[in-house]
Amino acid sequence: MNEKPDMISLKERIGFVQKKVETLSALKDQSFADRLLFRSMDSHLSDLRAQQREIDNRHPLMDFMEIRLKGDLVDIGTIPLEILSLISGNLAGLVQKATHRISSGKDSQRVPNDLRNSLNMRLADLTPGSTRLGVTFSTGSGDLFDTVSSQAMKEIFSMLEASDEETFMAKVAEIGSNSTYSLKKIVDECEKNSLNFDMTWMGPLSGGRRTISLSSQEIHKLTSRLSLTQISKPWDESFSGELSLLSMYGKLEIVNKKERIKASYPIEMLTEIQKNHKVGEHVSVVASVTEIHNDKLGIMRRNYMIKSLK
- Give the contacts of 258 (CB within 8 A, at least 6 positions apart): none
Bigger pLDDT: 58 vs 48: 48
Neighbours of 33 (CB within 10 A): 8
The set of residues, in sequence order, having a beta carbon less than 8 Å from that of 303 and lying 6+ positions away, is 170, 173, 174, 264, 289, 290, 291, 292
265, 273 Cβ separation under 8 angstroms = yes
CA distances for 237 relative to 178, 208, 262, 283, angstroms: 22, 40, 14, 14
Residues whose CB falls within 8 Å of the CB of residue 75, separated by 6 or more in sequence, listed in order: 35, 38, 39, 131
Q: How far does Cα 308 stand from its chain's mean position? A: 27
- The closest alpha carbon to 234, from 308, 304, 152, belongs to 304
Is 148:203 a contact under the CB 8 Å cutoff? Answer: no
pLDDT higher than threshold 70 for residue 131: yes
Distance of alpha carbon 168 from alpha carbon 91, whole angstroms: 19
- Could you tell me the pLDDT band of residue 24, with boundaries at 50, 70 and 90? confident
To the question of pTM greater than 0.85 for the whole model, the response is no
Cα dist from 266 to 144, 254, 301, whole Å: 12, 16, 20
Q: In 27-147, which ranges are continuous DSSP H helix?
A: 32-55, 81-104, 113-119
- More confident site: 2 or 195: 195
Residue 266 falls in which region: left (phi positive, over 0), alpha (psi -120 to 50) or beta: beta
Query: 271 pLDDT exceeds 80?
Result: yes
Class of domain 235-309: mainly beta
The Cα–Cα gap between 152 and 160 comes to 13
Give pLDDT, residue 141.
47
Q: Is 216 helix (H, G, I), strand (E, B) or coil?
A: helix
Give residue 53's pLDDT: 64
Q: What pLDDT was estimated at residue 5?
A: 45
For residue 93, is pLDDT > 90?
Answer: yes
Burial class (CB in 10 A: 0-12, 13-18, 19+), 171: buried
Kindly state the DSSP code that residue 90 receives in the 8-state scheme: H
pLDDT at res. 98:
94
Mean pLDDT for the chain overall: 84
Lowest mean pLDDT among 46-50, 142-146, 148-152: 142-146
Q: How far apart are CA 272 and CA 286, in angstroms?
A: 15
Question: Quick one: CA torsion of 43, 44, 50, 53, rounded to 10 degrees?
Answer: -130
Residue 150 parent element (H or E): helix 148-161
- SS3 of 54-87: the string is HHCCCCCCCEEEEEEEECCCCCCCCCCHHHHHHH
pLDDT band at 279 (very low <50, low <70, confident <90, very high): very high
Q: How far apart are the first and last CA of the chain?
A: 57
The pLDDT, as a whole number, for residue 57 is 42
Over residues 162-175, the mean pLDDT reads 91
Q: Looking at the predicted structure, is the pLDDT value of residue 54 above 70?
A: no
